[in-house]
Amino acid sequence: MPTFNLKINNKTHTVDADMDTPLLWVLRDKIDLVGTKFGCGIGQCGACTVHVDGNAMRSCLLQVSQAEGMDITTIEGLSEDGDHPVQQAWKEVDVPQCGYCQAGQIMTASAFLENNPNPTESEIRNAMHGNICRCAAYNSIEEAVKVASKKITN
């Protein structure tokens, strides 16, 4: 089985995995970073969203062999103590119901706000459209992105 060196949350991890193993399962089953969630396996739900070189990407579609040399951030590495403005906004608004999709939502929102710190409502709705929340906490997610935007721009 080939070996890969992955830079995850500013730390290098060496893993043995089949070439086509999705980054998602390397994170979850080999490195014990289980914050990144499995929802659909085909890039449709966004539960597995991570940052790759600063962009939100579906870790279920990114093969481990493609991930070498990239700068990967998972929910566990988004901040030191859960104090990223998006995480704090999520807490203030009390977004989660079941909570399962929220890591993916937070990763999508944080990459989006990095590029567009002061978005319009319609830009927020478009940016978050790819992440499914089965509990339909969408009003709160939308609100939390607005709150995070204020935190970032102030």
Instruction: List residues binding other proteins (CB under 8 A).
Output: 1, 17-18, 21-22, 25, 28-30, 32-42, 44-45, 47, 74-76, 78-79, 82, 87, 90-91, 94-103, 106, 125-126, 128-142
Which residue, 68 or 94, is less far from other proteins as judged by CB? 94
User: For the chain, what is the largest distance between any 2 Cα atoms, rounded to a whole number of angstroms?
Assistant: 49
CB of 134 to other proteins, least distance (A): 4
By beta-carbon proximity to other proteins, the closer residue of 5 and 126 is: 126
55-58/3-8 β-pairing: unpaired
What is the token pair recorded at 146? 């607005």
Query: Closest CB to other proteins among 18 and 53?
Result: 18
Residue 70: CB minimum distance to other proteins, A: 19
Kindly state the smallest distance separating residue 52's Cβ from other proteins, in Å: 16
Decide: 50 and 35 in contact? Cβ < 8 Å: no
Please enumerate, as own/partner, the contacts of 28-32 that have beta carbons within 8 Å and a separation of 24 or more: 31/6
* Residue whose CB is less far from other proteins, 17 or 147: 17
- Going 50 to 52 to 57 to 60, the CA torsion angle's sign is negative
Minimum CB distance to other proteins, residue 114 (Å) = 17
Q: Which residues lie across from 72 on neighbouring strands? A: 8, 52
**Of 129 and 150, CB closest to other proteins:** 129
CA distance readout (Å), 14 to 23, 32, 37: 13, 13, 21
The distance of closest approach from Cβ of residue 80 to other proteins in the complex, given in angstroms and rounded to an integer, is 10
